[in-house]
Amino acid sequence: MSGDACGTDASAPPVLPLESAPAGLRARLESLRLKYAAAFGGEVPAVYVRVPGRVNLIGEHVDYCGYSVCPMAIQQDLLVAASPVDTGDFLRLVNLDSETYPGHDFPDRNFVIDLKLNGWSSYFLCGVKGALERMSTGCSLPNGRPNGNVPPGSGLSSSSALVSAAFLTTAYLNKMQLSKSELAALSARSEQYIGTVGGGMDQAIAFLATKGCAKHIEFEPIRTEDLSLPDDAVFVIAHSRVTKNKAATADFNTRVVECRLAAQVRKFSVQNCCVGIYE
């Protein structure tokens, strides 16, 4: 691996024409367009947003303690087709896999984020809520139709990808000027509305990934360094088909507390292990 210069990313996510998308992605976007039109009275989406999943190479359960991590983005992703709501504050979310993930309607912007009531939509609402809190009144809500091929509950950041995609969609439709680093930090904060107190690794690699590279990511503030991977490197990601919804129980937050306590103990121990000569 080789490392490139470390720093923050002040650039905004790229806005690309549909025709520039690879053939496989274009086919998925076309399918999403047709399904969106069917759900929203023939309307054409105003924007498509793509956010990748991720796998972490080293640094598990340390980002929320302030320690650095080394993840990389994967090809599997989360897509959202969306348009600004033009009928009052009515918000509709429809999943492409509607049999497994039923859609939800929200009559106004004072929606309640409740995983038991709204299921997958709650993650999308986290991103919308986080973006709305950055804006004044009169901002637009997005009608959205997500679709992804990141296996849910597999540890590949499908939920964070959905939150990040919702935040980015809402920000774009309301012409918010935010850098990739800002989007990563704000999306991480928004995901806490679901009830989990995570770090910022998932969102940072989602917005700051570089093709062919893993990322060394530091926090407070977010700083990244590209780690170039060998051209012939192959990473095999195996999924046992056992899923884990970290927001469904207190287990994840318990681990956060345990790790933060351990980090404080380690900090105290290191500070008191210096070499000294006494007379």
DSSP annotation of 69 reads B
Q: Per-residue pLDDT averaged across 162-180, rounded? A: 95
Q: What is the pLDDT of residue 90?
A: 74
Domains belonging to the chain, first-starting first, are 2-271 (3.30.230.10)
Whether residue 202 lies in the annotated active site: yes
Q: Which residues pair with 224 in a beta bridge?
A: 7, 217
CB 85 within 8 A of CB 61: no
Catalytic residue among 202, 231, 232, 251: 202
The model's pLDDT over 113-140, given as tens digits with 9 standing for 90+, comes to: 988 888 999 999 999 999 999 887 667 8
Residue 5 confidence (pLDDT) above 70: no
Whole-structure pTM over 0.85, yes or no? Answer: yes
**Residue-wise DSSP of 25-37:** HHHHHHHHHHHHH
Q: What is the pLDDT of residue 241?
A: 83
The model's pLDDT over 40-91, given as tens digits with 9 standing for 90+, comes to: 999 999 999 999 999 999 988 888 888 899 999 999 999 999 999 865 557 8
Nearest of 124, 129, 127 to residue 146 by alpha carbon:
124
Nearest of 132, 187, 147 to residue 49 by alpha carbon:
147
